[in-house]
Amino acid sequence: MQVQPEKIERRIELVGTLEGRQEVTVASEVSARVAAVHADLGDRVQRGQVLVELNPIELQISVDRQRAALAQVLAQLGLEKESDPMPDPARTSMVRKAAAELADAKANYERVQALVAKNVLSKQVADTAEARYRAAEANYSAALETVRNLEAQVQNMRAQLALAEKKVADCTIRAPFAGSIARRLVEVGQYVKEQTPVMTIVSTNPLKLKAGVPERWFPFVAPGARVDVRVEAYDDVFTGRVERVSQAVDAQSRTFAIEALVDNSAGRLRPGLFATATLFTSKVDTVLRVPADAVISFYGVQKVYAVENGEIREVVVKLGDRTGDRIEVTEGLAPGTWIAVSELSRIRQGMRVQVKKES
């Protein structure tokens, strides 16, 4: 065959581990006793599916107590429902009563002053009327402050009630996303405290391949690059795409990290599997390639039989990457060189040959 230049897309062989795209250990947000467990090791669960139920009796009592205290304060403001908006303080019965008493005391004080001016009443009566008027003003201001304080108490109690209701809802522990149960950590009857782990969930489709790429390939790897993944359990090739590329190089390993998403809709792969991968880069080179069977290895030296002026000549070559049954020659051959690809055992240095080109 005549060796001719050809363009090839550079590929990198990598090793890595398959992981779930999401993995989380779900913990209890409240302290209570486990009433029921609805999922176990290996079960597939959907987002929002109930995993564990805790006994909510004590927490429900707290809700009832908060609701009763809130109802008591609402009644003082003339409200019936927990969701009723806060009234205008001036419209509450407490403030209206104080306002009426203030208006009466003011009118009485003004009448007394008029009569004192005419010397009908004594100064002592005027002082008494004025004191009553000033007390009514103070009572009115106190009534407004009391209503505002009650409104603040309502806001605080509503928040406490919402928190108590949330704790009751937290007794039902649900899956945060669709996946598979990797570990079950509680049993029925067990008392769990806040932040006690109950289940570990891992997403299984797609899976994430994490691997390190030599630093010299940094300019040629970008999100979206194709990745062919293989695991020991199957002969099949699983296709993925690079999702993330680290912008930093590890100073010790001189590699940068990539994450590729691998389709697992058939559920054949498992998180934790060791994988080998072929990463297709954006680097395209013009190279010379020959059949791997055309290369002779002798004591660590690689040679090919070239035809020069009708005579066989041994040519020492340096080899590069191998793809399938073809291997790259980086040094030793020039484009257009004719080489022998068969009958190598019968060929010797200096043998005369005739190249016949097929029509």
Rg (Cα) of the chain, in Å, rounded?
Answer: 43
Question: Same CATH topology for 5-18+205-346 and 22-55+171-202?
Answer: no
Q: How confident is the model at residue 281 (pLDDT cuts 50, 70, 90)?
A: very high
Q: What is the mean pLDDT of residues 1-24?
A: 89
Between the alpha carbon of residue 250 and those of residues 70, 128, 140, 281, 336, the distances in Å are: 59, 89, 73, 20, 43
- The CATH class for the domain spanning 5-18+205-346 reads mainly beta
Q: What is the mean pLDDT of residues 58-87?
A: 86
Amino acid identity at 352? R
Condensed to tens digits (0 to 9), the pLDDT of residues 210-219 reads 999 999 999 9
pLDDT of 359 above 60: no
Condensed to tens digits (0 to 9), the pLDDT of residues 40-56 reads 998 999 999 999 999 99
Q: How confident is the model at residue 112 (pLDDT cuts 50, 70, 90)?
A: confident
pLDDT at position 170, please? 95
Mean pLDDT for all residues in the chain: 89
Between the alpha carbon of residue 65 and those of residues 60, 159, 176, 192, 344, the distances in Å are: 9, 13, 31, 23, 95
Which sequence spans correspond to the domains of the chain? 5-18+205-346, 22-55+171-202, 58-168
Could you give the angle at the alpha carbon of 132 between the alpha carbons of 131 and 137, nearest 5°? Answer: 95
pLDDT at position 29, please? 94
- Counting residues of the chain whose pLDDT is more than 90, the rounded percentage is 48
Please state, in angstroms and rounded to a whole number, the distance separating the CA atoms of residues 17 and 229: 10
Instruction: Return the CATH number of the domain spanning residue range 22-55+171-202.
Output: 2.40.50.100
pLDDT at position 245, please? 95
pLDDT at position 353, please? 84
Say whether 258 sits in a helix, a strand or coil: strand
pLDDT at position 205, please? 87
Please state, in angstroms and rounded to a whole number, the distance separating the CA atoms of residues 57 and 66: 14
More confident residue, 133 or 357: 133
Q: How confident is the model at residue 237 (pLDDT cuts 50, 70, 90)?
A: very high
Q: What is the mean pLDDT of residues 223-251?
A: 93
- Counting residues of the chain whose pLDDT is more than 70, the rounded percentage is 99
pLDDT at position 224, please? 93
pLDDT of 341 above 90: no
pLDDT at position 358, please? 57
Q: What is the mean pLDDT of residues 278-287?
A: 90
pLDDT at position 300, please? 83
- Tokens 């390190």 identify what position? 212
Condensed to tens digits (0 to 9), the pLDDT of residues 137-171 reads 999 899 889 888 988 888 899 999 999 999 999 99
More confident residue, 116 or 33: 33
Between the alpha carbon of residue 127 and those of residues 106, 119, 232, the distances in Å are: 13, 14, 103
Q: How confident is the model at residue 8 (pLDDT cuts 50, 70, 90)?
A: confident
Q: What is the mean pLDDT of residues 283-312?
A: 88
